[in-house]
Chain A
Amino acid sequence: MVEQKDPKDWTRVATLDQCLPGNLFGVQVGSLKIVLANVDGTIYALEDQCSHQDLPLSDGYLEDDQVECIYHGARFNICTGTATSLPAIKPVATFNVDIRGGDIYVQSVE
């Protein structure tokens, strides 16, 4: 999924039509897994790893501004990454997102 990087460490990770409103979409940047979330046309990016048992959040679903982990019901705020429901306690990392044309770019932290 890794595409060319631009000088400001932005990586193109998907096209807009891969992550439609109300949906989640998992991508990989190097060894980092990221889940994209489309809330009414706005794209958010979180680390694709639930802080409870490290399972992929992209298998779960989006409810309003929360992503819910399918495996044990943990929830995270997609803007801040904060855990909003047990069994998760710790937050997950968030990433900056930029839309250029029909493409989704995520700012790399590596």
Chain B
Amino acid sequence: MPESKLVDNLDLDNYKYGFVDSESHVYRTKPGLDESIVRDISRQKEEPDWMLQFRLKAFKIYESKPMPTWGGDLSDLEATLDEIYFYVKPQEQTERSWEDVPDKIKNTFERLGIPEAEQKSLAGVGAQYESEMVYHSLKEEWASKGVIFDSIEDGLKNHPELFKEHFGTVIPIADNKFSALNAAVWSGGSFVYIPKGVHLDTPLQAYFRVNQEKMGQFERTLIIVEEGAHATYVEGCTAPVYSTDSFHSGVIEIVVKKDARFRYTTIQNWSNNMYNLVTQRAVVQENATMEWLDGNLGSKLTMKYPSCYLMGKGAHGSIMSIAYAGPGQHQDTGGKVVHAAENTTSSIISKSISKEDGRSTYRGLCKVHEGAKGSRSNVECDALLINDTSRTDTYPYIEVDEKQANVGHEATVSKVGDEQLFYLKNRGLSEEEAMGLVVRGFLEPIAKELPLEYAVELNRLIEMEMEGSVG
């Protein structure tokens, strides 16, 4: 097995991104949240008044909304939210040159492999440390074609009209309690604009790192893909392991215009003390394609359901999702597709693995509005359970208000078959190798869609997590 040989040579810490840097920041708000902190964040960012008003309205809505009673266990979150820092500013500005990033932060990202990744000819790279993007760069080739890849703050400063036209239109403040919270305290994230007809042949990549203990990260990303444009965006997330809980709540809004094509890939590998409650939604216009590729491996609890609103005729949405719930983890993930126009198509493929007392939940929606004639949607969920204490749930909502539509959902739950293991062991594999192979085979249809370095990463993780799972 060449792959397992490869893995043998690697340092298999349980969580290799768990290292901590000493705290360093130029400014941070006091722990907890009140209106003065919302005003303070806005002041720090020297925002126009409309944005302050937006934040204040959001804060009111956030306070009025009850904690969700569905999904994961949020009973300890209220207490966590009283203790965390909602805004931590690591440096004065977003740097354009890697050389200008402070050494300490630079070292962190180097350990996470960022300059390396950049060498692999990415179109652009952004890196968020605590609450701010510390680094953002875009290759000149793309900048000259009018592509914008900025921190969200620079997006607001430099492209105010474009920004205001789309900001908060895909995900309204009141969508859910955490979209309201993000709208009140957002900081960091990317502003992306791909002009008409421009085809990016390499991805834009963003890294999110939380270093500070008891930290809340609230990035906000707005992506506008103009007619006929093509692009791919990749985000990766990691954090140190602390004994206290941290919180991440992003809002990602995407507009994919006529004939455009966009893929958003997430490899979430937060440490196991992180609440990860994210709202991601794309509006997909005529004949455009939106693809979410969502890998949830880390965190204590993730609640995340990327969605596609298929608003134009012939629009297509695809959601591919992998979830791994190890000991103490709950991955409550899935996807939503809303068919609001004729001949729209969608597909959701979800694969989850639960190990020990890990719990993975698929929660999804497929809605076909009246008039969305000729729409088709297919949902497939497969869950693999490793131990007798593992748990999986499937909650698909199917709502069809149009006769000329075909919607199908299927889900299966299984364990790794003894016959499969027996066969592979007879072929000379150890039990653990056999288990790893079966699990990789299970994930393969989605894993093959991942960028190479992430596919390797996923394999490595599976290898590591399957150790000692047999017996």
From A70, A71, A73, A90, B369 is in contact (CB under 8 Å) with A90
Chain A count of residues within 8 A CB distance of the other chain: 13
Cα distance A91–B38 when bound, in Å? 34
Of B61, B176, B283, the residue contacting A86 (CB under 8 A) is B283
**By the criterion CB–CB under 8 Å, are B369 and A68 in contact?**
no
Partner of B169, one of A68, A70, A71, A85: A85
A70 vs B281: C-alpha distance when bound (angstroms): 19
CB <8 Å contact, B170 and A70: no
Q: Which of A69, A74, A75, A86 has the most CB of B within 10 A?
A: A86
B338 touches A72 (CB 8 A): no
Q: Convert A59-103 into 0s and 1s, putting 1 for each residue whose CB lies closer than 8 angstroms to a CB of B.
A: 000000000111111110000000001110110000000000000
Report the minimal beta-carbon distance from B15 to chain A, rounded to whole angstroms.
35
Q: Is the CB of A86 within 8 A of B369?
A: no
Chain B residues in 8 Å Cβ range of A87: 172, 175, 309, 338
For residue A51, which residue of chain B has the nearest CB? B369
**Main SS at interface, chain A:** loop
Chain A CB within 8 A of B461 CB: no
- Roughly how many angstroms separate A70 CA and B64 CA in the complex, as a whole number? 9
Q: Is the CB of A72 within 8 A of B174?
A: yes
| A73 B338 Cβ-Cβ under 8 A | no
A89 touches B172 (CB 8 A): no
A69, chain B: closest CB distance, angstroms: 7
A49 and B311 CA atoms in complex are apart in Å by 22
- Interface residues in B, total, Cβ within 8 A: 19
Binary contact track B158-183/A, C-beta < 8 Å → 1, others 0 = 00000000000111111110010000
Is the beta-carbon distance between B340 and A73 smaller than 8 angstroms?
Answer: no
Contact call A74/B369, Cβ cutoff below 8 A:
no
Are B340 and A89 within 8 A (Cβ)? yes
Tell me whether A74 and B172 are in contact (CB under 8 A): yes
Contact of A73 with B175 in the complex, beta carbons under 8 Å: yes
- Complex CA distance for A87 and B283, rounded to whole angstroms: 10
B338 with A89: CB separation less than 8 A: yes
Chain A residues within an 8 Å CB radius of B309: 86-87, 89
Q: Which residues of B contact A72 (CB under 8 A)?
A: 172, 174-176
* Contact indicator A86/B174 (Cβ below 8 Å): no
Q: Which residue of A has the minimal Cβ distance to B311?
A: A89
B101 to chain A, nearest CB (A): 37
21 residue pairs bridging A and B, Cβ less than 8 Å apart: A68-B172, A68-B174, A69-B174, A70-B64, A70-B174, A71-B174, A72-B172, A72-B176, A73-B173, A73-B174, A73-B175, A75-B172, A85-B172, A86-B170, A86-B171, A86-B283, A87-B172, A87-B175, A87-B338, A89-B340, A89-B369
Given contacts A72-B172, A72-B176, A73-B172, 18 further A-B contacts (CB under 8 A): A68-B172, A70-B174, A71-B174, A72-B174, A73-B171, A73-B173, A73-B174, A75-B172, A86-B171, A86-B172, A86-B283, A86-B309, A87-B172, A87-B338, A89-B311, A89-B340, A89-B369, A90-B370
